[in-house]
Chains A and B, each alone.
Chain A
Amino acid sequence: MPDPQPGVSRRTALWFTAGSVIALPLGLAGCGSDSSDAVKLTYKQFGSGTIMGDFLRGVVNEYSASGSGSAVDLIPLVASENDYYTKTELMMSSGRTSPDLVYEDTFILRSDVAAGYLRPIDDYLATWPDWKLYYPTTQDAVKYTDGKHYGVPLSTDTRAIWFNRKLLAKAGLPETWQPKTWDDILTAARAIKQKLPGVIPINIWSSKAMGEATSMQGFEMLLYGTDSTLYDESRGKWVTGSKGFVDALQFMRTVSAEKLGLQLSDALDPNMGDRLYNVLWPNEKIAMAVDGSWIPGAWIGGSWPDWSKSMSVAKMPTQHGAAPGLVTMSGGFCWAIPKHAQHPDKAFDFVRTMCNRKNNTDYCIKDSQIAVRSDTAAEPTYQKSTPTTKFMTDLVKSTTYRPALAPYPQISNAIQIACEAMLIGSKTPAAAAATYDSMLIDIVGRDQTMKAGA
């Protein structure tokens, strides 16, 4: 049987070469985005939320109309938290894909500075009079260890104890309840448990499934009310073996052991947030919770428009009532300029418009955020936007930011593991703290840690 004739074979060869070229649409692609002068801006779109997108489109219109401005391309990224960080980091790592302005969580900012993705913006800030109006605590949140600033904070959040004053009243507690110590909180929770069966006395996030909420709204709100800390700023070392760490875990253990919190299966449920905010709170089935300033955002125009008729907020006390008598933690986003940005000048120019008094106020109100500028905070429209806004804003002056260094996400994970052990009761607080210490040493190396009190 003869092989195919040479002519056919050559045609076949051509056919395959052509085929492989077509199969590989390299070059045919509408490569990258346009190389125009437009400022490229990436931001995280929270699910179907349009607040940020609407806000930015409004600013873009204003900016373009002002004459000076060039075009601005908005690139929303819809994704889970981790995927968003990783995606933006990958984009920033190359000049081809780098945006000119990026929406950064202050929690990841320093890691990204350390990775060399961002550029300092002090020269721009020096020419921008508004910068002096930012609260010093929020300015520090965007400062790296080299003393330079790498971002303009957009807004922040604060944390405190939310409570349903009607339920507290039924349990014989004052409507203007303000605990002075951790014990006051536990006493109130026990009273509610006794007098109001079927009502969850208190929620303090303690599961790994809730991720950073457990570390921040849960554990750190307790730890920073003790004499101890996570990270010694002056020596630049992570702290092991602190008494405050054990005490904070003990508080969580007490809540769980005395069944003052959510039932175990709910507490471990990764989707509990939704049920807590949209079912338990509006149906008045929970009395107190350590939680963030933004939670009315879920109720306004949603599951509980009348929330303010029942809800109040109290400061989170320190462990034994020591000065300053309150604890609050802050996070929040900022705008940063990548090192590989093509148009850094224009990008900052856009920030001037986006973060001016009017626009910043507008954004904070719409997105239930806490102001980072003193002039915004003083705006009557802002202060009156919800009954708790002013209270939560006043906390900013005494707030603490997380030690947001590169290993923080892993350390936070180790904290969550310790907290979950309290929830389940699988370890004593001291044993869980010891496990944390060894994980910490594993993550950062022994030379980066120090014994508490040493």
Chain B
Amino acid sequence: MAAVAETSTMPVDPRRSGNSDPARTARRGMPLLPALVLLLIFMAGPVIYSIYLAFTNKAVRGEGADSTSMVGFANFTEAFSQPDFWNAMWLTLVFTVVSGVIGQNVLGMALALLLRKCAAWVSWITGTVVIGAWIIPEVVAGYLWYTFLSGDGSLNKVFGWFGLGPQDWLISAPIVAVSFANIWRGTAFSMLTYSAALSQLDPEVEESAAIDGAGPMRRFWSITVPLIRRSIMTNLLLTTLQTLSVFGLIFVMTGGGPGTESQTLPLYMYEQAFSFGQLGYGTAVALLLLLVGGVAALAYLKVLPKEDL
């Protein structure tokens, strides 16, 4: 891959030597300035304020709004004692693993592999449709899937043609329903990533393996996967982080219901902070969500060699 060659040329670059000159470091860091200023003001500020809020009993309405006081870790212990929180945590993990880690990645990889072998016009059509699903605004995608899965929706029409009984997945298996919607919406990114990674592979390696008599599955697992391992890990990391914070899609499709059967952490947090006005508690939940993302990120980065970042 190009990337491997890239890192190896780095040390040759003469401008890389002499890190000790602070003036030069500052000058080199200059282009970072606009981004840093924006990030510090608009992201770091609110995040730090959020961390403070998570340790208070701040509320937007009711008595708590008038007088805010520090409550230590009370919001966190409160969360850990709530079955609803654990329910939301569990659903978040299910949703992320099913729709992000497995669904989008497997389907994306399968599409990428097939796209190499198919006719050009088919590749164009499939690419356009899958990417089309990706660029549709989230709220619109939510409506589409709601109508697709609801009682009189297209899915039941299709089931009807095959003589199958109607389903109501939005009610009976809401987390599965929203996971499918998220696979539909997010597969394009994995497909593009994997297509690109595969296109960089040297066809001769695969061909020689084929001549040695390796079957397609073996070739895939023992040659293709190791070669594009880094693309896979990075893509897994990015899809995991994106899926963890999905809000609009689920909010439009099920609103977290029925009951709390599809209430993932972002929806739980929204309910606590906005419906109940419990800002301190809601922010604490948000931080815990962030922590889950952090753990996932660390896990992936652990697998990636240091020089890859």
A and B: direct contact (Cβ < 8 Å)? yes
Q: Which residues of B contact A1 (CB under 8 A)?
A: 14-15
In the complex, the answer to whether A115 meets B63 with C-beta atoms within 8 Å is: yes
Q: How far is the CB of B175 from chain A (nearest CB, A)?
A: 15
Q: How far is the CB of B198 from chain A (nearest CB, A)?
A: 38
In the complex, the answer to whether A207 meets B38 with C-beta atoms within 8 Å is: no
In the complex, the answer to whether B65 meets A115 with C-beta atoms within 8 Å is: yes
Alpha-carbon distance A108/B276, docked complex (angstroms): 11
What number of A residues sit within 8 Å (CB to CB) of B?
A: 44
Alpha-carbon distance A86/B60, docked complex (angstroms): 7
CB 8 Å contact bits of A260-290 with B (1 = contact, 0 = none): 0000111011110000000000000000000
Alpha-carbon distance A424/B257, docked complex (angstroms): 13
What number of B residues sit within 8 Å (CB to CB) of A?
A: 38
Interface of A: prevailing SS: helix
Contact among A83, A90, A117, A208 with B257 in the assembled complex (CB-CB below 8 Å): A208
CB 8 Å contact bits of B15-29 with A (1 = contact, 0 = none): 100000000100100
Q: Which residues of B contact A114 (CB under 8 A)?
A: 61-63, 65-66
Tell me whether A115 and B276 are in contact in the complex, defined as CB-CB below 8 angstroms, given that A12-B30, A208-B257, A420-B258 are known contacts.
no
In the complex, the answer to whether A24 meets B41 with C-beta atoms within 8 Å is: yes
In the complex, the answer to whether A23 meets B38 with C-beta atoms within 8 Å is: yes
CB 8 Å contact bits of A65-88 with B (1 = contact, 0 = none): 000000000000000001101100
Indicate the member of B60, B64, B65, B151 with the most A CB atoms within 10 Å.
Answer: B60
Alpha-carbon distance A117/B275, docked complex (angstroms): 18
- Tell me if A291 is interfacial: C-beta within 8 Å of chain B: no
- Tell me if B178 is interfacial: C-beta within 8 Å of chain A: no
Q: How far is the CB of B18 from chain A (nearest CB, A)?
A: 10
Alpha-carbon distance A43/B227, docked complex (angstroms): 59
- Tell me if B33 is interfacial: C-beta within 8 Å of chain A: yes
Alpha-carbon distance A17/B168, docked complex (angstroms): 58
In the complex, the answer to whether A13 meets B61 with C-beta atoms within 8 Å is: no
Alpha-carbon distance A407/B59, docked complex (angstroms): 11
Which residues 98-122 of A sit at the B interface, judged by CB distance below 8 A? 108, 111-112, 114-117
Alpha-carbon distance A417/B34, docked complex (angstroms): 49
In the complex, the answer to whether A20 meets B277 with C-beta atoms within 8 Å is: no
- Tell me if A3 is interfacial: C-beta within 8 Å of chain B: yes
- Tell me if B190 is interfacial: C-beta within 8 Å of chain A: no
- Tell me if B259 is interfacial: C-beta within 8 Å of chain A: yes
Q: How far is the CB of B35 from chain A (nearest CB, A)?
A: 8
Contact among A3, A23, A85, A269 with B61 in the assembled complex (CB-CB below 8 Å): A85
In the complex, the answer to whether A269 meets B150 with C-beta atoms within 8 Å is: yes
- Tell me if A187 is interfacial: C-beta within 8 Å of chain B: no
In the complex, the answer to whether B61 meets A417 with C-beta atoms within 8 Å is: no
In the complex, the answer to whether A82 meets B274 with C-beta atoms within 8 Å is: yes
- Tell me if B254 is interfacial: C-beta within 8 Å of chain A: yes
- Tell me if B255 is interfacial: C-beta within 8 Å of chain A: yes
- Tell me if A50 is interfacial: C-beta within 8 Å of chain B: no
Q: How far is the CB of A441 from chain B (nearest CB, A)?
A: 13
- Tell me if B45 is interfacial: C-beta within 8 Å of chain A: no
Which residues 409-432 of A sit at the B interface, judged by CB distance below 8 A? 409-410, 413, 417, 420, 424
Tell me whether A89 and B61 are in contact in the complex, defined as CB-CB below 8 angstroms, given that A115-B66, A265-B168 are known contacts.
yes
Tell me whether A209 and B14 are in contact in the complex, defined as CB-CB below 8 angstroms, given that A20-B34, A115-B66 are known contacts.
no
Tell me whether A9 and B61 are in contact in the complex, defined as CB-CB below 8 angstroms, given that A24-B37, A115-B66 are known contacts.
no
Q: Which residues of B contact A409 (CB under 8 A)?
A: 275-277
Q: How far is the CB of B260 from chain A (nearest CB, A)?
A: 8
Q: How far is the CB of A301 from chain B (nearest CB, A)?
A: 26
Which residues 248-262 of B sit at the A interface, judged by CB distance below 8 A? 254-255, 257-260
In the complex, the answer to whether A16 meets B34 with C-beta atoms within 8 Å is: yes
- Tell me if A351 is interfacial: C-beta within 8 Å of chain B: no
Which residues 228-280 of B sit at the A interface, judged by CB distance below 8 A? 254-255, 257-260, 271, 273-278
In the complex, the answer to whether A116 meets B277 with C-beta atoms within 8 Å is: no
In the complex, the answer to whether B60 meets A90 with C-beta atoms within 8 Å is: yes
In the complex, the answer to whether B255 meets A270 with C-beta atoms within 8 Å is: yes
Alpha-carbon distance A208/B254, docked complex (angstroms): 11
Alpha-carbon distance A208/B170, docked complex (angstroms): 14
Alpha-carbon distance A115/B254, docked complex (angstroms): 32
Indicate the member of A20, A93, A417 with the most B CB atoms within 10 Å.
Answer: A20
Q: Which residues of B contact A116 (CB under 8 A)?
A: 65-66
| 21 A-B pairs whose Cβ atoms sit less than 8 Å apart in the complex | A16-B34, A20-B37, A85-B274, A85-B277, A111-B61, A114-B63, A115-B61, A115-B65, A208-B257, A209-B255, A209-B257, A265-B151, A268-B257, A268-B258, A269-B150, A269-B170, A270-B257, A406-B61, A407-B62, A409-B276, A410-B278
